[in-house]
């Protein structure tokens, strides 16, 4: 807890901004990671194309 010793002397509004920035960074990081992981895979589009081709026959 000694690493947060200077954090206690900050104003409450400043603490809120620090927490909000950390949470926003985390959420954007998870969103970016998820979009990269899901977006690189076209299995769904291949399945849709196969279904459409079978439906026409």
At 6, the pLDDT band (50, 70, 90 cuts) reads confident
Residues 13-24 pLDDT 10s: 999 999 999 999
Domain ranges in the chain are 28-57
CA gap 3, 48 in Å, rounded: 53
- Predicted confidence at residue 41, as pLDDT, reads 63
At 47, the pLDDT band (50, 70, 90 cuts) reads confident
User: Coil, strand or helix: which one is 57?
Assistant: coil
Mean pLDDT, all residues of the chain:
85
3-state secondary structure 1-53: CHHHHHHHHCCHHHHHHHHHHHHHHHHHHHHHHHHHHHHCCCHHHHHHHHHHH
CA gap 2, 8 in Å, rounded: 11
Q: pTM higher than 0.75 for the full model? A: no
């Amino acid at each position: 807890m000694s690493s947060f010793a200077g954090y206690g002397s900050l104003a409450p509004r400043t603490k809120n901004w620090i927490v909000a920035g950390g949470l926003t960074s985390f959420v954007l990081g998870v969103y970016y990671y998820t979009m990269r992981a899901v977006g690189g895979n076209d299995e769904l589009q291949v399945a849709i194309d196969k279904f459409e081709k079978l439906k026409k026959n």
